[in-house]
Amino acid sequence: MMELICPAGTPAALRSAIDAGADAIYCGFNDETNARNFPGLNFSRDEMRKSIALAHGRGARVLVAINTFPRASAVEIWHRAVDDAVSAGADALILADIGLMDYTARRHPSQRLHVSVQAAAANPDAIAFYAETFGAKRVVLPRVLSVPEIAEITRESACETEVFVFGGLCVMAEGRCSLSSYATGKSPNMQGVCSPPSHVTYEQTAEGTKSSLGGFAINRFAATEPAGYPTLCKGRFSTAQGAGYIFEDPVSLDATTLLKGLRDAGVTALKIEGRQRGRAYVESVVRHFRHALAALESGSEADIASLKPFTEGQASTLGAYRKTWR
Amino acid sequence: MQLSLGPVLYNWAPERWRDFYFRIADEAPLDVVSVGEIVCSKRSPFFADHIPAVVERLQNAGKQVLLGSLILVSLRRERRQTEELAAVEGAMVEVNDLTCLRALAGRPHAIGPFVNIYNEASAAFHVAHGAKRICLPPELPLASVAAIAKAIPDVTTEMFAFGRVPLAISARCYHARLHKLAKDNCRFVCEKDPDGLLLNTLEQQDFLTINGVQTLSHTCANLLGEAGLLHESKVGSLRLSPQDCDMVEIARIFRDVLNGRDDADGGNRRLAAAYPGVPFSNGFLWAEPGHLYHRARAGDMQGVAPKIGAV
């Protein structure tokens, strides 16, 4: 059966994920070493140790994400995160930076290493490079691939593959996007944040609610429309060719109906996005996928309860997995 | 301080593309020129026939030529293309995606600005695996640039110094999406926008530029005023990225300022005249939002100009 990999932004969310049936939980330290570096989120060293012990006691694994790109002249902060995660008993480290993978492979050769989606390994040659050079055991695939492409990559892959099945959807190649820092000075790669709340404003105008990021209008909503969060690539813009959602509609990924295809493709693990989300999200989404996986296993029809309340703009998509735009 | 020219990122007509490089070869004061279609593999066949003549002309003019690899490699055809590029005898490949590294297997190569090198450890890793030139990501602040360049003194460190800033790459084509076309049947609509397609906010504020699967800034990076600081920080090369303007003139302006024949203010005035209507930006280098431009800081250049003339 495919593994279910679930997000946890707090020790409480980690417990909820285990209760709801997670095979593994991924989380990070409460600093700039991980790509969900939001205030009040993530684990102290002590919390990480205790949470890993708790998870192990209940048969679940913990994958520690150290997936930002270390700041020059401060690389030791990331080295310390790696060392501490290893000594806390992490089952795997999820890394994006090539220098940090090099460090980990040399310093902790027996530590299991996963290639983060932020490393943008989008084909078997890139995956083989990570597997051969650093002994990576698993790669998290970008959200830009279709199911047939995932199948082809997995068939040729030098290591296990893990794919996102639910949550926020990057339409740009992950780990290779500076849109956020262009508008705000803060980026996923460097500060571990995208379109950060600190740079968001909402303003009432004659035409409705305007949301802005770093001073750039990202969207405008009529009084009857819910005002969505201004994630840069999900905004409404205008061009000489027309206006609207130029990059992507404000939707979330939901691949519930594609689980069979992913299993047949040989995918090892399914990942749920959302370390920044609360316990209710974690609990509901994990339970939903645990149920769907059990149904898949027994060959019965899954009762696919709608996850709409947990999706961005209350709308979901199969994302690139069904490539209607190819 | 070297001057290099990055690859043309937009979909120019093949003859125009060829003639652009012929003129660059003959007239532009550049040390290094990177060529090849790196944005969209569908465009590559149109330029393939012209590449040998372009490379020869550039080399005969004394310019070092780099062959740029695709930024995003996913299809089988793109993997093959990348592998073939790595196999070209005697060529220096500019790696824009790690897919290349396996095929290059430690042979000397250059690293383009699309590879994530944010710190000295990553830079050292690439140097140990054969990198001879590294163009750092445009997002990096000066403190990081200086720390990295200092750590790899035997390698030429380069900064993206002129042109709209590449900000994102996607498997999805936004030109095709805007024209309500599927990517596989895109009719190459991006050729209508040789300098990219302007994207505004709903308040008509200029914001970004669309170039097929690539998204760039609306503003034009301009580090002319920081050339002295970059030189002091051991940066050995400035990259100019082709826009739909007189790139020979752009190269001359940079060369004149580097040689002390013009000062940064004069150079900036000439740049604004050569590429009119597009605001400058240098915010990334100052660890600020990338779209910002600090004119005041451009003054830092004065006084050190003659020094960097000594290349």
Residue-wise pLDDT for A223-254, tens only, equals 888 888 999 999 999 999 999 999 988 878 88
B28/chain A closest Cα distance in angstroms:
30
Q: Note the ipTM here.
A: 0.94
Query: Could you tell me if A199 and A214 are in contact, meaning their C-beta atoms sit under 8 angstroms apart?
Result: yes
Nearest-CA neighbor of B50 among B62, B31, B32, B37? B37
Q: Cβ contact (<8 Å) for B168 and A123?
A: no
Q: What is the share, in percent, of chain B residues with pLDDT greater than 70?
A: 95
Alpha carbon distance A23, A84 (integer Å): 22
Which residue segments constitute the domains of chain A, with CATH numbers given?
A: 3-169+251-321 (3.20.20.70), 179-244 (no CATH)
pLDDT given for residue A304 in this prediction: 63
Contact check, Cβ <8 Å, A239/B178? yes
Chain B residues in contact with A120 (beta carbon < 8 A): 72, 97
Q: What average pLDDT score do residues A67-94 get? A: 97
The verdict on a CB contact (< 8 Å) between A326 and B124 is no
Backbone angles phi, psi at A263, to 5 degrees: -65, -45
Please say if the pLDDT value at position A307 is more than 70.
no
Q: How far apart are the first and last CA of chain B?
A: 5
Comparing alpha-carbon positions, the chain A residue that sits nearest to B185 is: A326
Q: Which of A30-39, A75-84, A300-309 has the lowest mean pLDDT?
A: A300-309
Helix (H) or strand (E) holding A152: helix A147-156
Residue A15 scores a pLDDT above 70: yes
The pLDDT score that the predictor gives to residue A225 is: 85
If one counts every other C-beta atom within 10 angstroms of the C-beta of residue B150, the result is 14
Report the relative pairing of strands B156-169 and B131-135 from DSSP bridges.
parallel
Residues 6+ apart with CB under 8 A from B169: A172, A173, A176, A177, B39, B71, B72, B114, B213, B214, B215
Q: What residues of A are in contact with residue B71 (Cβ under 8 Å)? A: 176
Question: What Rg value do the Cα atoms of chain A yield, rounded?
Answer: 19
Average pLDDT, chain B: 93
What percent of chain B clears pLDDT 90, i.e. is strictly above it? 87
Torsion of CA A183, A185, A188, A189, to 10 degrees: 130
Which of B167, B197, B201 has the CB atom closest to A217's CB atom?
Answer: B201
What is the least distance, in Å, from the CA of A264 to any CA of chain B?
20
Contact between B203 and A217 using a beta-carbon 8 Å cutoff: yes
Span A161-217, pLDDT tens digits: 999 999 888 889 999 999 999 999 999 999 989 999 999 999 999 989 999 999 999
Question: Under an 8 A CB cutoff, do A126 and B98 touch?
Answer: yes
Q: What is the pLDDT, as a whole number, of residue B306?
A: 37
Which residue in A155, A95, A99 sits closest to A121, CA to CA? A95
Give me the residue from A123, A176, A233 closest to B73, CB to CB.
A123
Sign of CA dihedral B186, B191, B192, B196: positive
Model confidence at B303: pLDDT above 50 = no
For B219, name the nearest residue in chain A, comparing CA atoms only. A182
Please state, for a pLDDT cut of 70, what percent of chain A lies above it: 92
Q: What is the pLDDT confidence band of residue B301, given thresholds at 50, 70 and 90?
A: very low
Q: Give the C-alpha separation, B49 to B45, whole Å.
A: 8
Query: How near does any CA of chain A get to the CA of B174, in Å?
Result: 7
| pLDDT given for residue B302 in this prediction | 44
pTM value surpassing 0.90: yes
Chain A residues in contact with B179 (beta carbon < 8 A): 241
Interface check A171 vs B, CB under 8 A: yes
Given the structure tokens 């990021």, which residue do they identify? A213
CB spacing of A177 vs B167 below 8 angstroms:
yes
Instruction: Tell me how far the alpha carbon of residue A298 is from its chain's centroid.
Output: 28
Interface A-B, measured as beta-carbon pairs within 8 A, has a size of: 216
Question: Model confidence over B277-293: pLDDT tens digits?
Answer: 999 999 999 999 999 99
Q: Strand A138-140 to strand B280-281: parallel, antiparallel, or no bridges (unpaired)?
A: unpaired
Q: Which of A76, A98, A150, A211 to mutate to test the interface with B (most CBs of B within 10 A)?
A: A98
Domains of chain B: 2-164+219-309 (3.20.20.70)
Round to whole Å and give the CA distance between B224 and B295: 11
Residues of chain A in contact with residue B85, where contact means CB-CB under 8 angstroms, are none
The full 3-state SS of B241-279, as one line of letters, equals CCCCCCHHHHHHHHHHHHCCCCCHHHHHHHHHHHCCCCC
C-beta of residue B104 within 8 angstroms of C-beta of residue A147: no
